[in-house]
Structure 1
Amino acid sequence: MTDQPRRGRRPAGQSTRSVVLDAARAEFDERGYEAVSLRGVARRAGVDPGTVRHWFTDKAELFAATLGLVDIDPSAVARAAADGPVEGLGERLVRSVTQMWDADGGATVRVVVPAIMADPGLRTLLQHFLGAEVLGPIVRRLEVSDAELRSALAGSQVAGLMMLRYVVGVEPVASLPADDLAVLVGPNLQRYLTGDLPPVPPAR
């Protein structure tokens, strides 16, 4: 039987939040995004579930914190963008994403993206996180049979925009206001989301 961590006073210099984050990273690495629960993280960290919820309201926010995202919740941004008429969803999504990452001038993207790319475990976890928490709200909002394909295509456009704007710094994309980018790029996302797509041949 595996010994469970004891609940109690932490060693000097070891904050409860950092202990929870360490436990969460271990849980995500071992179990995968879908199988992890806040209660399981609390058990591993040796704290009460309420302590985990004091710092992180849900699993998506906890996972974002393990990636080094501070005060940023991509899943909340996706849910907010999806909350509204399907018409205009592409423009809302571009505007919401760019405003979120513009808050610190793109510094978070420039730090987090290379760290994720250098860590195979994080790349795998990020794939599941994006599917469940970021693209998921869009899939549910579209309510069509090819919603997963459409949302993934839109996500590829957003990912490319983020790389050009924040990591590579290609002008004038890097310095355009978020509203202007939304007007320019939003229609491309909207075509992916609701427009006519050419037929895709079946996989061999």
Structure 2
Amino acid sequence: MTTRRTADSTAPRTTGSTGRRTAGAGRPGRRPGGPDTRGEILRAARDSFADKGFTATSIRAVAREAGVDAALVHHYFDSKDELFIEAMAIPVDPRQIAAHILDGPREELGRRIATVFLGVWESADGQQRMKAIFRSVVSSDEVARVMREGITQLIIQPVSRAIDVPDAHLRVSLVATQLIGLAMARYLVELEPVAGADVQTLIDRLAPVLQLHLTG
């Protein structure tokens, strides 16, 4: 099998607990923030996302399950989107991915998508966590449903609105199939010569295909 080379140069900023606000005295909540309060909120969120899906999960329901006030959940997580990203251990913020993809000329959308996607996978932390997510998705219907709903709302819908064509959702979904297939072949199955190909070569080959799906 090919040993993967990793590089962080093209990956968007990763998310995580570094720099996160910590609960302090005087914050509202049925239980004050303790050493594992944030972890309990994340566990409750994972359960809720798995049971109800992204759309039906609410901050109040997660707070109730975790035994805290909704204000304390907001103390740790600014929004349900952020809670989803942290709970599912997504290595990058999908909102930042969408913003980066859309920041530039329409005729270069395919190249930006390919560059950002491979940048995430080529980073050491990103590759490890994305492999875990992919394996969870293919082995669990619940995880697949949660990821599908979340990524649809946070990435696919914004990009679909931006290209502004009648079949935009189908076009962006076809792009997703290309990216998923590439990830499976290169990083999980390690199919040669895709697994050992230079990243820039892959971007150069993939970008026109993605652009054709989007605007062709």
Change in 2 beyond 3 A, CA 1:50/1:182:
farther
1:118 paired with 2:118, answer no
- Is 1:191 aligned with 2:212? yes
1:113 to partner: Cα distance: 1.3
Question: For each residue in 1:63-100, what CA deviation from the matched residue of structure 2 results, as whole angstroms up to 9, or x when unmatched?
Answer: 2332233x422342133212222111011001001111
- CA distance change for structure 1 residues 173 and 55 in 2, over 3 Å: closer, same or farther? farther
Distance 1:115 1:50 in 2: 31
Give the TM-score, by structure 1 length: 0.80
Q: Kindly tell me the number of residue pairs found equivalent between the two proteins.
A: 187
- The within-5 A match list for 1:67-82 is 67-69=88-90, 71-82=91-102
The CA deviation at 1:50 is 4.4
Q: Aligned partners of 1:111 and 1:60: how far apart in 2?
A: 20
One-letter amino acid of the counterpart of residue 63, structure 1: F
Residues 109, 167 of structure 1: 8 Å contact kept: no
The one-letter amino acid paired with 1:7 is R
- Aligned counterpart in structure 2 of residue 173 of structure 1, from 165, 171, 194: 194
Counterpart amino acid of 2:155? V
Pair 62,82 (structure 1): closer, same or farther in 2 beyond 3 Å: same
Q: Which residue matches 2:40?
A: 19
Q: Match of 2:146, as an amino acid?
A: L
Tell me the distance in 2 between the aligned counterparts of 1:56 and 1:29.
19
Alpha-carbon separation, structure 1, partners of 2:99 and 2:183 = 19
**In structure 1, what is the equivalent of residue 159 of structure 2?**
138
SS at structure 2 position matched to 1:34: helix
Task: With the length of structure 2 as denominator, give the TM-score of the two structures.
Answer: 0.76
Q: Which of 90, 109, 113 is the aligned partner of 1:89? A: 109
**Which segments of structure 1 move beyond 4 Å, counting only runs of 4 or more?**
none
Query: 2 CA distance for matches of 1:79 and 1:172?
Result: 32
In 1: Cα distance, 2:202 partner to 2:54 partner: 32
Residues 154 and 192 in structure 1, CA contact (< 8 A), matched pair in contact too: yes
On the 8 A contact 1:78/1:93 being kept in 2, the answer is no
Per-residue deviation, 1:47: 2.7
Higher relative contact order (CA 8 A, sep 6+): 2
1:109 is aligned to 2:151: no
Q: List gaps (5 residues or longer) in structure 2.
A: 1-28
Offset, 1:132: 1.1
Cα displacement (A) at 1:159:
0.7
The alignment partner of 2:145 has SS state of helix
Q: Contact 2:48/2:62 (CA < 8 Å) preserved in 1?
A: yes
- How far is the alpha carbon of 1:150 from its aligned partner? 0.4
What amino acid is the match of 2:142? G
Counterpart amino acid of residue 87 in structure 1: E
Whether 1:8 aligns to 2:23 is no
